Amino acid sequence: MQKNNPRTVNAWCMYDWANSVHSLVIVSSIFPVYFSATALNEQGGNIIQFLGFSIRNTVLFSYSVSFSFLVVALLIPFCTAIADYAGRKKLFMKLFCYTGAGSCAFLYFFTRDTLTISVFAFMLSLIGWSGSIVFYNSFLPEIATEENFDRYSARGYSLGYLGSVLLMVFNLTMILFPQLYGITDPSLPARISFLTVGIWWILFAQIPFKYLPSNTHNKKSEGNWLFNGFRELRKIFGQVRTQTNLPRYLLAYFVFNMGVQTVMYVATIFGANELRLPDQSLIITILLIQLVAIAGSYLFAYLSGRFGNIHALMMGVVVWIGICTAAYFITTEMQFYILACVVGMVMGGIQSLSRATYSKLIPDDTQDTASYFSFYDVTEKTSIVLGTLVYGLVEQLTGSMRNSVLALLFLFVIGFILLSRIPSQKVYRYRLGGSGN
C-alpha cells in the first residue's frame, strides 16, 4: 500500500483519539478516585475483602493492574504471530478494542456491592486496551516511511490527549455540577463517565477500522493457524536475537518504562492518600497533565530530530529522575500541581518517542510488524506488571508510598545507564548508513 497517505495516517492517529479516554478516565483520574471512595469496608476503612483475602484497596488496585498486564504479556505474542501469518491484524485489533470498551461500559454498575465483578471488569478493560494497541502500533511501519515515524507518533499521542480532554471536560461537568443534569445520586456522574468511555472508544475506532488495511501481507493459510502462529513467533524471536541494538533497546525500555508506567497508574492514588488532596483537585490536575503532554509529544519529536532518538530519551529519563526525587519530598497541593506539569511534559514525549524509536529499529524489509511489536508490547506490559507490583509491595511492607517512589527512582537511574549503551539513531545512521540494528 502507498505510504504516507494523509487519509490513512490521519485515520491511524484517530485510534489514539478513540482509546486514550481509557487512559485518562479509567486509569489516571476518575476511576482511581471512585475506586478509593467505593472500595471500602462496612466501617469505611480501606482494608477490604477480595476473594477471601484481606487487602488494602490501594494495593488491590496496583495488583489488579499487574495481573491484567501479565495476562496480556502471555497472550499477545501468540495473537500477533497468528495475526501476521493470517494477515488479520485489524481483526485482532477489533476484538481487543470491543472487549476493552465493553468492559468500560460495564463499570457503570460498579458499587460497593459489585466490587469483585467490577475489579474483573476493570482488568478486562486493561487487557482489551493494551491488546488493541499492539496491533495499532504495528501499522506505523506499514503506513509511513521512517523519516515520519517520530512526527506521526507524536501526532497520534497528541490527538489522544486532546480527545480524552474533551470527553473528560464533559464528565467533569457532571461530577462538579450534577444538579445541571438533574442528578442526585452522588455515585452516578462517575459511573456515567465509565459508560461514556466505552461509547466514545467504539464510536471513534470505526474511523481507523474503515481506512486501515484489513489484510496485510497475508501468507498462505495452510495448516492450523495456531501452530503456524507458534512457528511465526519462534522465527521472529530468532531474528530479534541476532540483532544488536534492538535487544539492548528492549532491555533499557523495560527498565525505565517500569517507572514511567507505574507513575502514570498510581499518581492519582498517591495524591489522594499521601497528600489528602480533594477529588476535584486530583481530577483537574490529571486534566492539566494531558494538555501539557500535547506539547511534550512534539517537543521530544523535535529533540529526536536534533540530537537523535536515544539522546532525547536519555534527556527524558533524567527529568523522570528529578520527578521521583521531588515526589519523595512534596507535602503541599501547589507542589503536586507543579510536579504534575513536569510529568505531563515528559509523559507524552517519552511514550511517543519510545514507539517511534522501536519502529526505526525494526528491519526495514520485515512484513511481520505485529510480531515484532509483540516483543515491544510484552516488554512494556511486563515492565508494568513488575513496576506496579514493586510499588504495591514496597507500600505494603513499609506502609508508605514515598518509599515506593524511591524504588522507581532507582529504576530510572538503571534505565539511563542502559540507554547510554545504545548509539543514538541519528548519529548511528549517519556514520554507518545502516538500519540501526
Rounded to 10°, the helix 30-38/279-307 angle is: 140
Smallest CA-to-CA distance from 428 within 154, 243, 253, 245 is with 245
Quick one: pLDDT at residue 436? 39
Q: Which of 281-285, 287-291, 380-384 has the lowest mean pLDDT?
A: 281-285
Q: Which residue has the higher pLDDT, 409 or 229?
A: 409
How many Cβ atoms sit within 10 Å of the Cβ of residue 304?
29
DSSP H or E stretch at residue 373: helix 369-398
How far apart CA 91 and CA 405 sit, in angstroms, is 39
Question: What average pLDDT does the segment 41-47 reach?
Answer: 84
The half-sphere exposure of 112 on its side-chain side, counting CA atoms within 13 A, is: 14
Mean of the per-residue pLDDT values for the chain?
Answer: 83
Q: Which residue has the higher pLDDT, 86 or 161?
A: 161
Going by C-beta distance under 8 Å and a sequence separation of 6 or more, which residues neighbour residue 364? Answer: 146, 435
Decide if 63 contacts 118 (C-beta within 8 A): no
Report how far apart, in Å, the C-alpha atoms of 298 and of each of 238, 293, 349, 368 are: 35, 9, 7, 28
Quick one: pLDDT at residue 222? 52
pLDDT single digits (tens) 186-226: 999 999 999 999 999 999 999 999 999 876 555 544 555 55
How many Cβ atoms sit within 10 Å of the Cβ of residue 142?
19
Quick one: pLDDT at residue 256? 92
Q: Mind giving me the DSSP string for 111-156?
A: -GGGHHHHHHHHHHHHHHHHHHHHHHHHTHHHHS-GGGHHHHHHHH
DSSP H or E stretch at residue 403: helix 401-419
The half-sphere exposure of 202 on its side-chain side, counting CA atoms within 13 A, is: 15
pLDDT single digits (tens) 78-130: 787 777 777 788 999 999 999 999 999 999 999 999 999 999 999 999 999 98
Quick one: pLDDT at residue 352? 84
Residue 228 has pLDDT above 80, yes or no: no
Name the percent of the chain lying above pLDDT 70.
Answer: 89
Domain 6-213+242-421 matching CATH 1.10.3720.10: the answer reads: no
pLDDT single digits (tens) 47-90: 888 888 888 887 888 788 878 888 887 888 778 777 777 778 89
Rounded to 10°, the helix 309-329/279-307 angle is: 150
Give the confidence band of 433 by pLDDT, cuts at 50, 70, 90: very low
Question: What average pLDDT does the segment 368-388 reach?
Answer: 77
Name the percent of the chain lying above pLDDT 90.
Answer: 31
pLDDT single digits (tens) 396-409: 788 778 888 888 89
| Residue spans per domain, the chain | 6-213+242-421
Question: What burial class does residue 359 get, using C-beta atoms within 10 Å of its C-beta: 0-12 exposed, 13-18 middle, 19+ buried?
Answer: buried
Smallest CA-to-CA distance from 423 within 311, 266, 303 is with 311
Question: What average pLDDT does the segment 138-147 reach?
Answer: 86
Q: Give the CA diameter of the chain.
A: 66
